[in-house]
Amino acid sequence: MEEPEKLIKAIQLGDEKAFEKLFYEHYHKLYRFCRQYIFEKEIAEELVQDVFIYIWENRRSLIISRSLSAYLHTAVKNRALNYLKSKYAREKPQPLEEGLITSLSETEESSLDQHQLHQLVQQGIQQLPERCRIIFTLSRQGGLTYDEIAEELSISKESVKSQIKIALQKLRAYLKEYWEIWLIFFLNN
Amino acid sequence: MDYPEIIAYLNDDCTPQEKEAVEQWRSANADNERMFNNIRQVWEASIQKVESENPDIGQAWKQVRSQTTGKQIKKINWSRRISGIAAVLLLGLVAYLSQPWWIPVKMEEVITQNEGIPTQVSLPDGSSVWLNKHSKLVFPKKFKGRERVVELSGEAFFDVQRNESKPFSIKTAEAQVKVLGTSFDVMAYPDSSIVRVQVNSGRVALSSIEAEQDSLILSKGEEGFYEKNERRLEKANILQANRIAWKTRILEFNNTSIAEAIPLIQDIYQVRLELANIDIGNCRFSATFDDEPLENILETMSTLFEIKTAQKQSNSYTLSGQGCPK
């Protein structure tokens, strides 16, 4: 018998050590996989933990037809997308703001290094409206196409497109605002 | 040229014609090119680097174990199964007799007045609650039944022990908050028109008392309201910093004026700060103080804005200096 199959067999028979081994072998990998869909670290952790709890609770009736790793990844992905779908549906829609594309001046671009820019953009993503962030994360981090996102969240492709646009507008506005605060701060001193 | 076309171009997800159109637009003038580069920078910087993230696996395992292999499950011995059922029935009967419905469960009550530091209360399930001023918490001596229910009037910070099979809920006069295991702040003063919840970790559900099914799910870092008069649930758009500073003693100032910062500092350090010159209040600063001594905060302001601090009494200071223009 292959190693992963042995592990599953042992878990099905209630072997607690085997379950702990499964957890330690797969937790980090699954967490990082979950983060492709889930922006919030803590929620990603909770969702992955829920998968393990589910496995233990249902160990007697567990049927794993494909490879163990594929099973775990699919379970995490399903859970993450289900979570996003219900979260998305609960969230109130944000009014669409039609903003022009504004450009940052040259000084601003040159004075932010890659690391700073990355940090700022991540902060900006955190501030996005929930629906916007869900879609943006699925697209950028999860690499899902607009069609896939629309299907997973049961929404139209057009709303996916417009949410991505809003996300970018807001991110750029956030960077701009941040820059202005810095200027004021230094001028005041 | 609009975002969708530019993004399609960046994703390499467009027809040769569309690609051509973007390239033409880019080369039309320097402003377009700069804008394109700016969007590309933001687009590229928006991918999170998760490869280096290693959440605390020991902590995670503890969480999972407490709900799986660590759970106290009695193993049923088949030969004793029948007597086991009889014993359960008997126990049920004893419990029923010893706990008749007309005798209420013993309740505990903690009431705070104007204390400077939060009052910590330990609940029977190991959860902790920190009560802010003028608040009241009522809870049973023992959590019986399928839910852990406490009642709150005023403001409190909750750190709830996770127990999936026994949800924790906080009832206030108008609204309720349901959780599994997490930490968060609830403000429900009777004289305020809103009940406010701010989540520190995990997820919670906020709803009115009447319509529990219409709940607002709040995640880490989010804040939600229940508006009592209109019976409306709403998520706050902007998270107010320092809301739970009374418990965490972490003060975050982000381009905050000294005038705005003073009431917070006074509240947490139980001191009085007076301005010799009103213009000092105009000075704005950004800094985070994680439960630091008051002297550090005063020193930071002094260095930034050339302010002199003089201690008048043990708990009273005067700040003097030029200040900042409005």
Q: Give me the residues paired with residue B205 across strands.
A: B178, B217
pLDDT at B93: 44
Per-residue pLDDT tens over the stretch B14-41 = 889 989 999 999 999 888 888 888 888 8
Nearest CA in chain B to A21: B61
Same structural domain for residues B194 and B302?
Answer: no
CB contact under 8 A, A172 and B220: no
Residue B57 lies in a domain: no
Are the C-beta atoms of A167 and A96 separated by less than 8 Å? no
Q: Which domain holds residue B33?
A: 3-45
Query: How many Å lie between the alpha carbon of A117 and the closest alpha carbon of chain B?
Result: 7
> Is this prediction's ipTM beyond 0.90?
no
Least confident of B64-78, B220-234, B281-295: B64-78
Average pLDDT, chain A: 82
Same structural domain for residues B188 and B266?
Answer: no
Query: How many Å lie between the alpha carbon of A87 and the closest alpha carbon of chain B?
Result: 8
Average pLDDT estimate for B46-75 = 78
Same structural domain for residues B226 and B289?
Answer: no
CB contact under 8 A, B47 and A56: no
Same structural domain for residues B11 and B126?
Answer: no
Average pLDDT estimate for B120-129 = 88
pLDDT at A33: 93
pLDDT at A77: 92
Residue B278 lies in a domain: yes
Q: Name the residue facing B54 among A28, A140, A141 (closest C-beta).
A: A28
Nearest CA in chain A to B182: A42
Rounded to an integer, what distance in angstroms lies between the CA atom of residue B301 and that of residue B323?
Answer: 11
pLDDT over threshold 60, residue B72:
no
Domain at B271, CATH number = 3.55.50.30
Are the C-beta atoms of B195 and B225 separated by less than 8 Å? yes
pLDDT tier at B150 (50, 70, 90 boundaries)?
very high
Same structural domain for residues B268 and B215?
Answer: no
Average pLDDT estimate for B128-144 = 87
* Domains annotated on chain A, with CATH: 3-90 (1.10.1740.10), 106-188 (1.10.10.10)
Residue B74 lies in a domain: no
Residue B52 lies in a domain: no
Query: Which amino acid would we find at residue B232?
Result: R
pLDDT tier at A2 (50, 70, 90 boundaries)?
low
Hey, what are B315's tokens?
A: 């708990």
CB contact under 8 A, A27 and B61: yes
Rounded to an integer, what distance in angstroms lies between the CA atom of residue B112 and that of residue B132?
Answer: 7
CB contact under 8 A, B68 and A42: no
Residues of chain A contacting B219 with CB distance shorter than 8 Å: 40, 42-43
First CA to last CA distance, chain A: 71
CB contact under 8 A, A169 and B255: no
Domain at B211, CATH number = 2.60.120.1440
Residue B191 lies in a domain: yes
Query: How many Å lie between the alpha carbon of B54 and the closest alpha carbon of chain A?
Result: 6
Per-residue pLDDT tens over the stretch B212-242 = 778 888 887 788 888 888 888 888 765 667 7
Query: How many Å lie between the alpha carbon of A66 and the closest alpha carbon of chain B?
Result: 24
pLDDT over threshold 50, residue B191:
yes
How far, in Å, are A7, A57, A66, A68, A139 from residue A62 at the CA level? 13, 9, 12, 11, 32
Per-residue pLDDT tens over the stretch A129-183 = 888 999 999 998 888 888 899 998 889 998 898 899 889 888 888 887 776 666 5
Q: Which of the residues A47, A118, A169 would you substitute to probe the B interface, choosing the one with the greatest number of B C-beta atoms within 10 Å?
A: A118
> Other CB atoms closer than 10 Å to residue A189's CB: what's the count?
12
CB contact under 8 A, A92 and B235: yes
Residues of chain B contacting A19 with CB distance shorter than 8 Å: 68-69
Query: How many Å lie between the alpha carbon of B102 and the closest alpha carbon of chain A?
Result: 37
Same structural domain for residues B174 and B255?
Answer: no
Q: Name the residue facing B67 among A53, A101, A169 (closest C-beta).
A: A53
Average pLDDT estimate for B165-175 = 86
Least confident of A82-91, B126-135, B219-228, B239-248: B239-248
Average pLDDT estimate for B162-182 = 82
Average pLDDT, chain B: 80
Average pLDDT estimate for B294-304 = 88
Same structural domain for residues B119 and B222?
Answer: yes
Average pLDDT estimate for B75-96 = 42
pLDDT at B82: 45
Could you say which of B201, B235, B269 is where a domain stops?
Answer: B235
Rounded to an integer, what distance in angstroms lies between the CA atom of residue B288 and that of residue B265?
Answer: 12
B199 DSSP 8-state letter: E
Residue B85 lies in a domain: no
Residue B122 lies in a domain: yes
Share of chain A above pLDDT 70, in %: 81
pLDDT at A184: 60
CB within 8 Å of A86: residues ≥ 6 apart: none
Same structural domain for residues B35 and B122?
Answer: no
- pTM score, whole prediction: 0.48
Same structural domain for residues B120 and B224?
Answer: yes
Nearest CA in chain A to B256: A185
Are the C-beta atoms of B250 and B237 separated by less than 8 Å? no
pLDDT at B73: 38
Same structural domain for residues B208 and B271?
Answer: no
pLDDT over threshold 80, residue B270:
yes
pLDDT tier at A121 (50, 70, 90 boundaries)?
confident
Same structural domain for residues B280 and B163?
Answer: no
CB contact under 8 A, A43 and B2: no
Residue B295 lies in a domain: yes
Same structural domain for residues B171 and B114?
Answer: yes
**Domains contained in chain B, number:** 3
